[in-house]
Structure 1
């Protein structure tokens, strides 16, 4: 089996925070669809944007996740931050796309794309499996190799 590669940085974060953030993303996406709220979907997209493209330490969802991790006294485990940034960029694109599709009344396409995002977030939460690393390995890295 081929080894997976992820983007690497020297920044470290507590693994529990992105896992808890994944739960909050799942809940937010479900609420957005349950209440037909493009606003909730846009807030999730904005949250991904903050995590993916700014230097802010926390987005609203990751701030809430950090508070939950501390309140629940979950054990800290330090991991590389770069794969989570790459995953947040993918999440932003997916959320922006399904929000746009929903706004254009292409509900089935929007729901399918949102379902993929929820599936990836569920893998992150339940198994600490980063789908971003798999996508990075097979779809991004080949373009940077000689």
Structure 2
């Protein structure tokens, strides 16, 4: 089995345009963070990612806004497996916590680099629908489980 095709699978479906708007709003908040350097923006993102990562997107402010926009503009739903998006939300949550910790310890350059990585992932999803989580997951899976895949 090739690792590059391994991706988390869920029995749930997610609307891809909603996920892309979530990524767009994440990117916009990160751009604002780059401009004003306020960690409360990252705390907001961490809470939002935590809600989405724990399958509680009905309480996520960004997901609510994204669903409202998709519905208001009549964008047709395009359903896809929710597994990669849940995993991506966990990565986003981890990166937000990392940014907050680095900011608290005044390691601003490292915090901005971490925010840049999150921003890049968000940009790729928002602009191209490219989910980096599917490319990261196989490597984490390989490190986590004892029996590695043969390529």
Tell whether the structures are fold-level matches, with TM greater than 0.5: yes
Matched, 1:73 2:83: no
Q: Partner residue of 2:130?
A: 129
Deviations 1:66-104 (A, max 9, x none): 111112222210101111111100100001101221222
SS of 1:114's equivalent in the other structure is helix
Q: Partner residue of 1:23?
A: 24
SS of 1:57's equivalent in the other structure is helix
* Unaligned stretches of 5+ residues in structure 2: none
Q: Partner residue of 1:53?
A: 54
Q: Post-superposition shift, 1:110? A: 0.5
Q: How do residues 27-46 of structure 1 correspond to structure 2 at under 5 angstroms?
A: 27-46=28-47
Distance 2:14 2:3 in 1: 26
Q: Post-superposition shift, 1:57? A: 2.6
Aligned length: 146
Distance 1:71 1:56 in 2: 19
TM-score calculated relative to the size of structure 2: 0.88
Q: Partner residue of 1:103?
A: 104
TM-score calculated relative to the size of structure 1: 0.91
Distance 1:42 1:35 in 2: 14
